[in-house]
Structure 1
Amino acid sequence: MPVAARERALAASSGCPSAPGLAFDFGPPANETSLGIVALAAALLFKNGQTTERMAVTVERLGHGLGLPVRVLPDWDKLTIEIDGTSLSQTVPTKPLGVDMNRVLAVSKVIDRLCDGSLRLEEARPALLSAGNLPPVSTLRFTSFAATGAASLGVIFGALEMTSLILIAVSAALGALVRRCWLSGLGTNPFIQPLCAALIAGSVAVISSTSLHLPSSALVAFCPCMVLVPGPHLLNGAIDLVRTRIALGIARLAYAGVVVLMICFGLLLGLTAGGAVPPAAGSSAPVPFLADVIAAGCAVASFGTLFSMPWRTLPFPIVAGMLGHAARWALISLAGTNVATGALAACILISIIVTPVVDRLHLPFAALGFSAVVSMIPGFFLFTAASAVVALISAGPRAPITLLTDIAVNGVTAILVILAITFGLILPRMLLERCHS
């Protein structure tokens, strides 16, 4: 699209004034001030989980409102904001490690006020900094919803006895407390928190496997770790790859992969330190339709809370997640489809429901979309495959052939489900964006 046409389109979508032949002839000091505001807004959106494409469009819209035809060049550890036709640019060091929907929503509102003229330029920086520094959800809410989410995933995967669900909830709550109250003050390394939380999950699982001999000991180990899976980073990375931002997409996926590796390592370390053999996951009990759908809704609410979603926006992903999970249950239980096909169909439905809400409320698609599909994330299969790998190494030449089968089946299933979720969410999103462009 030509620059002028893109400017008019940005102005029409944002309510910013525009006129044919608009000249960007502010003096250098004014340009540098406006550029600093644009760069700050871009960094706040980027580091708090907004998708790269939506961040770029929003920043270009803000630049247009301030009289600057800006262009965003994103990288893993920095953002470069350039003014087309000039030598002015600004590089902001930042990394997309966080997911905080409340901050993204607040920053987007400040940008809207700048565009419609209700906020003066000299007031923009304090307003943006205030929006970007909003506190996360309270420790009590964070801990209780982490426990609820892990227990809900336990129900979905077949842990229907109360003792197992209580252990899952306690394990997830302890991990959340340690992450929020202790580890958050020890440093900025993003891998320490999931490692320690998974270590706690493995230690708690030792009780169920050695002392209580629960039939769902594998789920007691795995479900608290599923709460730690970096789903938004996986989705954002996949979206960047599809949009040919290859370097950024690979970096996001590599980061998510290292987090998953730390989760697996922490879980297996906790199990082996307690003298327990990594639990073998047996066939899960069939889950009744109503229990499955209600548990999916609870899981969506929990992950929305973990991503600092405001209370008033939680009903949208909850409804989408429950409808999608109902469709998945029907396809798997009634139509006899496999897990990957059920996840693909459910995610297509969820993406169609979520996309208009995300665009209207300026929320991060990856975070809200992942919240809605979290109950389908194949963490169970990933951790089962990892446990089988450890068991294979321990057994050595005496390892039964079934271990190799477990590794192959669970590993391939996990990969197929991840691909189904990714494409099921991304493709409708991109098609709907194209239809409205």
Structure 2
Amino acid sequence: MANAEMSNNGGGPDQGSVVVGRQAQVASAEQLALLPHVAKLLLENGQSTEKIVTASGRLADAMGFRATVFPHWGELTIRIDDASVPRYEIVGCAPLGVDMRKVAAATDVIDEVCDGRLDAETARSALDTIARFPPVSLTRFALLAAAGAAALGVIFGAAHLLSLALIAVSAGAGACLRRWLSGMGHNPFVQPLCAALLAGTIGAVAARLQFSSSLRLVAVCPCMILVPGPHLLNGTIDLARARIGLGASRLAYAGLIILMICTGLLSGLWLGGVGLPVSAPSQPVPFGYDVIAAGVAVAAYGTFFAMPWRMLPIPIAIGMFAHASRWAMISFAGVGAATGALAACLVVGIIVTPLADRMRLPFAAFAFASVVSLIPGGFLFRMAGGLVDLLSLGNKASFDVLRTTIADGTTAILVMLAMAFGLIVPKMCIEFLYPDLAKSGSGGRR
């Protein structure tokens, strides 16, 4: 943490900040240290920018001074007016992770400080403890990764037990590999790259040995659970609120992770001498299997984001309802994948917005976990495989390869845009119409 004193000319608020608090007064060293500590903890664990700004401002107000928060990628700048000359706290941090348990616990600490039940020194100690919360156990992480990938296999048409078993083994092994790599270094791109490489290799071996005819699903489903949905949602929300720099950085980070997943998957298939089919029709899935599998996938993603067990039934129920709605619209109304995803996500956005605030959970992680079964991972990875085929074949590439690659890419983009639009628009409308809702979930209790 770096401290600096600057003149008033260097620190006015902008669209990425908020100024709150009563008349400036001298704050203690513990109070001044608490504010950047809170903001850093929330930013690093997936909380949305608006909630970080609001929570930090309310905390400053409760401690009796004014503060202006400027969130950026790589650092948080906080202007504190507790004397005649404002001072600036610059904290190095980046929103690389998602941990709902830490966000909920940190928000509870903010509540207690704002209610006068906790002093700054005790709160700082509690936040240090929260920051050291261990990740979910390896057993739970690996088992839920296996179950979640197999559930996505069911949703996308894997009909044979051997195919589902291969998907589960691949995803579980990838989860163990990711956890091992996390202890070896802190590069955020190595884990998805290596897990996708393992999935592609296992898929290629299965095809070579003719263990399964569902090569696409055996290779792709373990990679779908690596998609960084919360970062995509948080980045889109920042762009919608005109925080261009931070939003673009979040989306670039998510895009690089997706690029690493595609690179690992295609490299693993290439090592086995197998290509990813550009087009492969999905088998229809019975309604009951489809909805149950969606619930299992939600439970897996809740585990990845460290959601406490007691809270998991809520997003599971929401996710099953959303997937049932999409299934009904596609089956009975005849709409396309993008329209079905849009309708389901609009419902989820309306339900999750007040629930996330009430439960003190980050909206992006909560919402994405509830709609994970809708992600167009198959289209995305098939598009990547088609692009590689076009590059390798050159002038010999057929028009069908080009056509199906464009169709897969367009479908993937439209579904992702529909999901983002469906989740974000209800959230922003509700928070605009009921501004007290944002405050109730960011450090204050009704």
Partners of 1:119 and 1:374 lie apart in 2 by 38
Partner in structure 1 of residue 353 of structure 2: 355
Partner in structure 1 of residue 88 of structure 2: 89
Other structure's SS at 2:281 match: coil
Partner in structure 2 of residue 111 of structure 1: 110
For the 8 Å contact 1:159–1:219, the answer to whether it is kept is: yes
Partners of 1:282 and 1:73 lie apart in 2 by 47
**Any idea what the Cα deviations from partners look like across 1:233-260, whole Å, max 9, x if unmatched?**
0000000000000000000000101100
For the 8 Å contact 1:378–1:414, the answer to whether it is kept is: yes
Shift of 1:379: 1.1
Partner in structure 1 of residue 305 of structure 2: 307
Q: What is the letter of the counterpart of residue 127 of structure 2? A: L
Shift of 1:213: 5.7
1:232 is aligned, of 210, 225, 230, to 230
Shift of 1:280: 3.9
Partners of 1:58 and 1:41 lie apart in 2 by 9
For the 8 Å contact 2:30–2:121, the answer to whether it is kept is: no
Q: What is the letter of the counterpart of residue 70 of structure 1? A: A
Task: Name stretches of at least 5 consecutive residues in structure 1 with no aligned partner.
Answer: 4-8, 12-21
TM-score, normalised via structure 2 length: 0.91
Partner in structure 2 of residue 250 of structure 1: 248
1:35 is aligned, of 21, 32, 52, to 32
2:325 aligned with 1:327, yes or no?
yes
Q: Mean Cα displacement is larger for which, 391-400 or 297-306?
A: 391-400
2:167 aligned with 1:168, yes or no?
yes
Partners of 1:319 and 1:331 lie apart in 2 by 18
Shift of 1:68: 1.8
**Any idea what the Cα deviations from partners look like across 1:100-141, whole Å, max 9, x if unmatched?**
000111111111111111112221211111112111100000
Partners of 2:181 and 2:144 lie apart in 1 by 19
Other structure's SS at 1:309 match: coil
The higher-RCO structure (CA 8 Å, 6+ apart) is 2
For the 8 Å contact 2:367–2:423, the answer to whether it is kept is: yes
For the 8 Å contact 1:103–1:133, the answer to whether it is kept is: no
RMSD over aligned CA atoms reads 1.6
Other structure's SS at 1:99 match: coil
Partner in structure 1 of residue 199 of structure 2: 201
For the 8 Å contact 1:316–1:357, the answer to whether it is kept is: no
Q: What is the letter of the counterpart of residue 238 of structure 2? A: D
Partner in structure 1 of residue 213 of structure 2: 215
1:16-27 alignment runs, 5 A limit: 22-26=22-26
Q: Determine what percentage of the aligned residue pairs are the same residue.
A: 53
TM-score, normalised via structure 1 length: 0.93
Partner in structure 1 of residue 65 of structure 2: 68
Q: What is the letter of the counterpart of residue 51 of structure 1? A: S
2:277 is aligned, of 276, 279, 286, to 279
Shift of 1:64: 0.9
Partner in structure 2 of residue 6 of structure 1: none
1:281–1:172 CA distance, 2 compared to 1 (3 A): farther
Other structure's SS at 2:371 match: helix
Partner in structure 1 of residue 157 of structure 2: 158
For the 8 Å contact 1:154–1:165, the answer to whether it is kept is: yes
Q: What is the letter of the counterpart of residue 124 of structure 2? A: R
For the 8 Å contact 1:278–1:391, the answer to whether it is kept is: no
**Any idea what the Cα deviations from partners look like across 1:38-85, whole Å, max 9, x if unmatched?**
100000000000000011111111111111221110000000111247
For the 8 Å contact 1:328–1:343, the answer to whether it is kept is: yes
Other structure's SS at 1:283 match: coil
**Any idea what the Cα deviations from partners look like across 1:166-190, whole Å, max 9, x if unmatched?**
111100001000111x211221110
Shift of 1:10: 8.0
Partners of 1:86 and 1:117 lie apart in 2 by 27
Q: What is the letter of the counterpart of residue 171 of structure 1? A: S
Partner in structure 2 of residue 142 of structure 1: 141
**Any idea what the Cα deviations from partners look like across 1:10-51, whole Å, max 9, x if unmatched?**
89xxxxxxxxxx533225xx1x43121010000000000000
For the 8 Å contact 1:65–1:114, the answer to whether it is kept is: yes
Shift of 1:362: 1.2
Q: What is the letter of the counterpart of residue 65 of structure 1? A: A
**Any idea what the Cα deviations from partners look like across 1:262-281, whole Å, max 9, x if unmatched?**
00000111111112222344
Partners of 2:275 and 2:434 lie apart in 1 by 54
Partners of 1:189 and 1:286 lie apart in 2 by 40
Shift of 1:388: 1.1
Partner in structure 2 of residue 342 of structure 1: 340
Other structure's SS at 2:216 match: helix
Partners of 1:49 and 1:149 lie apart in 2 by 21
Q: What is the letter of the counterpart of residue 53 of structure 1? A: E
Other structure's SS at 1:81 match: strand
Partners of 2:20 and 2:319 lie apart in 1 by 32
Shift of 1:392: 2.1
Shift of 1:86: 4.3
Partners of 2:359 and 2:52 lie apart in 1 by 14
Task: Name stretches of at least 5 consecutive residues in structure 2 with no aligned partner.
Answer: 1-12, 14-18, 436-446
**Any idea what the Cα deviations from partners look like across 1:265-319, whole Å, max 9, x if unmatched?**
0011111111222234410100111111111111001100110001111111111
Shift of 1:208: 2.5
Partners of 2:186 and 2:177 lie apart in 1 by 15
Partner in structure 2 of residue 16 of structure 1: none
For the 8 Å contact 1:232–1:370, the answer to whether it is kept is: yes
Q: Mean Cα displacement is larger for which, 390-399 or 247-256?
A: 390-399
Q: What is the letter of the counterpart of residue 26 of structure 2? A: F
